């Protein structure tokens, strides 16, 4: 059997596109739409200025010229993406609507050309929403939707994209994993 190197390269570039934008979807949801994090209630930012401050703090590297109005629109995008990380069958209709709303379409940019999934003339919010939504659609569309997941620890709704080999990740991070372990240990001792 011969292995065609072009296909290998192409596949890993598609994977990295999906990974990058799925992580961006995670960042949007956790920054703008989470109610509980690491065992504590958090108040999602409630107005454009507050949303913008939190977004700028979360984005590395910092994004281009974002406004408070953009941040408000991104909060809507985050609210639309969040249910895709919930347990149960993926909310395909909602994602399809989001892709239409933000005019997701494959297109080539720059020189050398790079593949993206927003119109060339799209504004930043539409471009981000279209690219992030497309990445989640790719994950779901190849039967990997259960990798879009919420933290299983008590009092934490943060979401993540599970890239472990056997899709076994349960927590948003180490602090929740440790808290869950400690509470399971206490429960065993009580039992
Ligand atoms: Zn957590």
Residue 41 Cα to ligand 1 midpoint, Å, equals 12
- The pLDDT tens digits of the residues spanning 57-88 come to 999 876 778 999 999 999 999 999 999 999 98
For residue 46, what are the domain limits? 5-190
Instruction: Tell me: pLDDT of 32 over 80.
Output: yes
What was the pLDDT predicted at 80? 96
Q: Residue 184 phi/psi, 5° resolution?
A: -65, -40
Residue 157 Cα to ligand 1 midpoint, Å, equals 6
What was the pLDDT predicted at 175? 94
* Alpha-helical segments (H) within 39-118: 48-58, 68-81, 92-101
Instruction: Tell me: pLDDT of 46 over 60.
Output: yes
Residue 86 Cα to ligand 1 midpoint, Å, equals 14
Q: Which H or E run contains 189? A: helix 174-190
Residue closest to 98 by CA, chosen among 61, 135, 67, 71: 135
Residue 141 Cα to ligand 1 midpoint, Å, equals 26
Cα 172 vs. chain centroid, distance in angstroms?
A: 12
Residue 129 Cα to ligand 1 midpoint, Å, equals 24
State how far the Cα of 157 lies from the Cα of 34, in Å rounded to an integer: 6
Residues 6+ positions from 187 with CB-CB distance below 8 Å: none
Residue 111 Cα to ligand 1 midpoint, Å, equals 41
Can you give the CATH number for the domain in which 10 is found?
1.10.3300.10
The percent of residues in the chain predicted with pLDDT above 90, rounded, is 77
**How many structural domains comprise the chain?**
1
State how far the Cα of 189 lies from the Cα of 63, in Å rounded to an integer: 49
Residue 115 Cα to ligand 1 midpoint, Å, equals 33
Q: What is the mean pLDDT of the chain?
A: 91
Lowest mean pLDDT among 63-67, 89-93, 132-136, 168-172: 63-67
State how far the Cα of 23 lies from the Cα of 86, in Å rounded to an integer: 16
State how far the Cα of 134 lies from the Cα of 139, in Å rounded to an integer: 9
């Amino acid at each position: 059997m011969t292995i065609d190197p072009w296909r290998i390269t192409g596949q890993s570039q598609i994977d990295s596109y999906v990974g990058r934008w799925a992580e961006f979807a995670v960042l949007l949801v956790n920054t703008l739409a989470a109610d509980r994090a690491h065992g504590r209630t958090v108040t999602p930012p409630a107005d454009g200025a507050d949303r913008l401050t939190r977004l700028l703090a979360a984005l590395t590297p910092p994004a281009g010229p974002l406004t408070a109005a953009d941040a408000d629109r991104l909060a809507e995008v985050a609210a639309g993406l969040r249910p895709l990380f919930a347990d149960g069958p993926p909310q395909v209709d909602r994602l399809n609507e989001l892709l239409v709303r933000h005019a997701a379409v494959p297109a080539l940019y720059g020189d050398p050309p790079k593949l993206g999934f927003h119109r060339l003339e799209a504004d930043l919010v539409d471009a981000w929403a279209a690219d992030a939504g497309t990445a989640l659609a790719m994950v779901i569309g190849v039967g990997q939707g259960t990798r879009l997941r919420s933290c299983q620890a008590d009092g934490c709704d943060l979401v993540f994209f599970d890239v472990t080999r056997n899709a076994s990740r349960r927590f948003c991070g180490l602090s929740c994993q440790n808290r869950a372990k400690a509470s399971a240990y206490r429960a065993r001792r009580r039992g």
